[in-house]
Amino acid sequence: MLESVGARVKPLSANDLWGYAKKMLDFALSLMALTVLALTGGAIFLLRRGGAKKQALLMLVLAVIMAVNVGIWTLPDSKGAAPVTAQQP
């Protein structure tokens, strides 16, 4: 038999949850930045090839929207603090 069947799982502290949330936000922002590059490259490829012009333009619009979102989260405001570097509650 397994000895850990009746073992209790230790609840996560607020610091642990904040650490996981911070890592997830960093991962999401990195993934969005890479997606901006992929969308821009794909749109340029489609425009140069001469086909699917509407889809290529929509890809560029989405890339701009995602880049603005990454910028909102990472660029500092007038006080010098970025939302991504906010202190834990």
* Residue pLDDT tens, the chain, 89 long: 455 565 677 777 777 777 787 888 889 999 999 999 999 999 999 999 988 899 999 999 999 999 999 999 888 888 877 777 776 55
- Domain limits of the chain? 33-89
Q: What letter represents residue 84's amino acid? A: V
Distance CA 4, CA 24 (A): 29
Q: What pTM did the predictor assign?
A: 0.75
Q: What letter represents residue 15's amino acid? A: N
Count of C-beta atoms within a 10 Å radius of residue 43: 21
